Amino acid sequence: EVEMKEKKARVEDALHSTRAAVEEGIVAGGGVTLIRAVAALDKVDAINEEQAMGVNILRRAMESPLRQIVFNAGGESSVVVSKVREGEGAFGYNAATEEYGDMLEMGILDPAKVTRSALQAAASVASLIITTEAMVADEPEEQGSGGGTPDMGGMGGMGGMGGMM
């Protein structure tokens, strides 16, 4: 039953992606389109510190999808992002094969609508952060080298069992 639900969810996701692609077209996947769009931020002249902060928030947000893909595949995200940034057009990183190349030719695509919506959401959050007087946030967790299966964590609900190793 669990496998059937998973298959159903994948089919529904594929249908939604296909509809979005039909509506607004496709772009190179794997975060490449957002990496290319970061170049436009370099041309933005921030008038004040708040605008500069907003541009930096957007820049980090736009690099995050590629960084996360590489991290999940067990790679070194800074190296990959740097190499993809040096490329042009649809040049990107295929995490499945650990190869660089034209994402469109490799069949790694994203619906343009999804990419646009994600960028709009990031801009909206950046705007909220800039205009907020105070904010409470979680302290970022340090990430390991990635790859492999994550550990299973602790045994939740087993109070008083700490230190048993």
Per-residue pLDDT at 162 = 41
pTM above threshold 0.95: no
How many residues are there in the chain?
165
Phi, psi of 27 (to 5 degrees): -135, 165
Give me the residue label for tokens 């893909």: 69
Across the 165 residues of the chain, what is the mean pLDDT of every consecutive 10-residue run? Answer: 88 82 86 91 83 84 92 93 94 94 92 87 80 78 59 42 39
Cβ within 8 Å of residue 54, ≥6 positions away:
46, 126, 127, 129, 130
What does the DSSP 8-state code read for residue 48? S
- Residues 93, 83 contacting (CB under 8 angstroms): yes
Q: Rounded to whole angstroms, how far apart are CA atoms 48 and 79?
A: 31
Domains along the chain? 28-131 (1.10.560.10)
